[in-house]
Amino acid sequence: MTTARPQIDLGPYKYGFRDPELYVYKAKPGLSRRVVEEISDMKGEPQWMRDFRLRALEVFFQKPMPTWGADLSAINFDEIHYYVKPTERQGHSWDEVPDYIKKTFDRLGIPEAERKFLAGVGAQYESEVVYHSLREDLKKKGVIFVDTDTAVREYPDLVRRFFGTVIPPADNKFAALNSAVWSGGSFIYVPPGVRVEIPLQAYFRINAEAMGQFERTLIIADEGSFVHYVEGCTAPVYSKDSLHSAVVELISMRGARLRYTTIQNWSLNVYNLVTKRAVAYEEAVVEWIDANLGSKVTMKYPSVFLMGKGARGDILSVAFANTGQHQDAGGKAIHVAPYTSSTILSKSISKGGGRTSYRGLLKIYEGAKGAKSMVRCDALILDPYSRSDTYPYIEVAEEDVSIGHEAVVAKISEEQLFYLMSRGLTETEAMAMVVNGFIEPFTKTLPMEYAVEMNRLIELQLSGAVG
């Protein structure tokens, strides 16, 4: 594989550096039964997982490409490397991670963040998780935070009970693909009543060209527990496209609260097609906080199934589309039980010809009496070349409900810019301040360190040569 091609200039993306490929194993491009069996062999998996993969592969081959959303016609499944194993073993201290990979995560600030404000960290590089840690006190309380491959080996009962139950392989073509070739991702179990007060984080890095990353994440917050999980992701800039197709399943048991935060900042040659879904049982809470800044195309609609009385789901989706990007994002709330409540707040920004779409579903089943939902889409369009659309779907089969829907499209006003510039801010700084204010409902949910980084990313997006 050649990597000699000069890096194309995509402006302010600062995570576009790449490492040499010193891999233990790299699958040939293309997808077949053979590739799936190879992955399963290398992982030494139990038969049930191998069967699960192979069944999913059939589903993937059968299902047509979805054509209802963003344009996916340029994806060439035959060009993608479905499995790349960077190292033989996983490190539990950064010293055990190969130098060149450690250096990458250093540049991304992960070890530093871990020291400062995280309770546990997972770092995935290509297909495998190369580093994992969890604070001792949490281990003692019975908290499990490992990569999903390790979980299959060490916690087979838990994994078998929940794996693929929230998102079955047949859910959609890309969930089927992930189910067939998945590798890595996080597995978290929080025992009843345990509160993990500081965030757990996973970081996903793609390094190779035309790489497919298919992590699989499963989080179970047992009764009355609390956990906040944060994921971030970046990749180098290549001219050939990569594919990131994760499946994330969340289970929030009775009275538990589970918050999942994503800051997606893939390079502009990554298709990001992710299925994220949660179930919330009685009085449980699920919060999806989902920010999409990078990628060429993103299609992602975090969902919550409100299965138990009094369950709550809050989805906050933020999308920033710059030149050449289409962010097709949103959220889905499905009310099955009575007195459930949901909010979906979408904040999108488009610039330099970028396109954002809000796509969402609010569904209330008959019998979900007293259900409450509020859907709000705010779009900010920074110039006349950019575009924003909303596709809100609402299906309500119960009469005793209270729902609201609001959509507002705004432009940055000349008066706002002039006001801030009269206080000494340059035009770019003024624009960044208005945009950061616009997404403040999102930023304020973040730990302070991420909020600062987020504001900086927005400023970079606005100051670059792009657009």
- In the complex, the residues that contact other proteins under the rule CB under 8 A are 413-416, 418-427, 429-430, 433-434, 436-441
Angle at 260 between CA 194 and CA 211, to 5 degrees: 125
Residues sharing a CB contact under 8 Å with residue 115, sequence separation 6 or more, in sequence order: none
Nearer to other proteins, 311 or 433 (CB): 433
For residues 417 and 47, give the distance between their C-alpha atoms in angstroms, rounded to a whole number.
Answer: 62
CB of 423 to other proteins, least distance (A): 4
Other Cβ atoms within 10 Å of 121 Cβ, number: 24
For residues 233 and 123, give the distance between their C-alpha atoms in angstroms, rounded to a whole number.
Answer: 10
CB of 444 to other proteins, least distance (A): 9
Nearer to other proteins, 218 or 462 (CB): 462
Nearer to other proteins, 335 or 347 (CB): 347
CB of 428 to other proteins, least distance (A): 10
Record the tokens describing residue 15, joined without a space.
């995570």
Record the tokens describing residue 12, joined without a space.
């302010």
CB of 347 to other proteins, least distance (A): 10
For residues 303 and 346, give the distance between their C-alpha atoms in angstroms, rounded to a whole number.
Answer: 13
The one-letter code for the residue type at 167 is I
Residues sharing a CB contact under 8 Å with residue 12, sequence separation 6 or more, in sequence order: 460, 461, 463, 464, 465, 466
Angle at 153 between CA 150 and CA 190, to 5 degrees: 60
For residues 146 and 331, give the distance between their C-alpha atoms in angstroms, rounded to a whole number.
Answer: 27
Residues sharing a CB contact under 8 Å with residue 213, sequence separation 6 or more, in sequence order: 124, 126, 127, 184, 204, 206, 242, 243, 244, 245, 246
- What is the SS3 string spanning 118-167? CCEEEEEECCEEEEEEECHHHHHCCCEEEEHHHHHHHCHHHHHHHCCCCC
CB of 425 to other proteins, least distance (A): 5
Contact, 333 vs 315, CB < 8 A?
yes
For residues 316 and 12, give the distance between their C-alpha atoms in angstroms, rounded to a whole number.
Answer: 26
DSSP letters, 241-283, are -EEE--EEEEEE-TT-EEEEEEEE---TTEEEE-EEEEEE-TT
For tokens 């049930």, the residue is 48
CB of 441 to other proteins, least distance (A): 7
CB of 291 to other proteins, least distance (A): 15
CB of 422 to other proteins, least distance (A): 5
Q: Give me the half-sphere count of Cα atoms (radius 13 Å) on the Cβ side of residue 303.
A: 24
Contact, 313 vs 280, CB < 8 A?
yes
For residues 31 and 436, give the distance between their C-alpha atoms in angstroms, rounded to a whole number.
Answer: 42
CB of 318 to other proteins, least distance (A): 12
Nearer to other proteins, 115 or 423 (CB): 423
Nearer to other proteins, 84 or 435 (CB): 435
For residues 266 and 272, give the distance between their C-alpha atoms in angstroms, rounded to a whole number.
Answer: 8
Nearer to other proteins, 69 or 441 (CB): 441
Beta bridge partners of residue 201, listed in sequence order? 121, 230
Nearer to other proteins, 403 or 425 (CB): 425
Strand, coil or helix: what is 362? strand
